[in-house]
């Protein structure tokens, strides 16, 4: 028979443990936020990987002032370039392929509230982004979305559903605009010093 923590702790102990856990999570998020302000790609990459658990591929760069939720559930492939002031919500998992580039101030969410739920329930799912994707500045990607290989999300777009391979989408909500060429072969390398 398995004994649960709830059975061992009185009610006040359970509340204290829950409160401690919230403070601990907040402290981790504050710590990674502070690391994001250090103007050195090498410094940030080291701490993101080794202290906060971001799975960051070789040659990949996360520009400064990026904010995270649950960074240990974020996997970024090789030679990616995440623009400054991004928000990456890893609570349900984010997987970013190789050679992905983004503009500034993008937001990727994996959880949201169900506005039709009487109790405002949380709903969501992982976000998966294929190789050679470009996400324009201030684009928002909502939970449970897959963005296909070589796709482009235009600046300011809000992606609410899957994007096919090599599709260019834009608008609110994002809609198909045209198809992108398929012979992509580049390494996004926009590492500005002090950013």
| H or E element that contains 24 | helix 11-35
Could you give the residue numbers annotated as active site?
A: 113
Distance CA 166, CA 130 (A): 10
Strand partners, 129: 96, 147
Q: Are 96 and 76 spatial neighbours (Cβ–Cβ below 8 Å)?
A: yes
| H or E element that contains 96 | strand 94-96
Distance CA 64, CA 37 (A): 6
Contacts of 25 (CB under 8 A, 6+ apart): none
Q: How are the residues of the chain apportioned to helix, strand and coil, as percentages rounded to the nearest 5?
A: 20, 25, 50
Q: Burial-class residue 99 by CB neighbours within 10 Å (0-12, 13-18, 19+).
A: buried
């Amino acid at each position: 028979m398995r004994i649960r923590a709830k059975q061992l702790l009185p009610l006040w102990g359970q509340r204290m443990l829950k409160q401690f856990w919230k403070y601990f999570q907040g402290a981790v998020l504050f710590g990674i936020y502070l690391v994001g302000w250090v103007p050195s790609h090498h410094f940030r990459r080291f701490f993101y990987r080794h202290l906060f658990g971001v799975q960051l591929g070789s040659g990949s760069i996360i520009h400064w002032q990026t904010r995270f939720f649950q960074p240990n559930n974020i996997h970024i492939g090789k030679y990616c370039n995440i623009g400054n002031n991004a928000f990456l919500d890893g609570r349900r998992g984010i997987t970013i392929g190789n050679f992905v580039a983004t503009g500034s101030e993008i937001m990727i969410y994996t959880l949201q509230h169900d506005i039709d739920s009487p109790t405002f329930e949380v709903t969501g799912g992982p976000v998966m982004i294929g190789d050679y994707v470009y996400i324009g500045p201030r684009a928002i990607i909502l939970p449970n979305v897959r963005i296909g290989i070589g796709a482009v999300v235009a600046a300011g777009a809000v992606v609410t559903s899957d994007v096919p391979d090599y599709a260019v989408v834009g608008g609110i909500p994002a809609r198909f605009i045209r198809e992108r060429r398929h012979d992509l072969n580049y390494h996004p390398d926009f590492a500005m010093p002090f950013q």
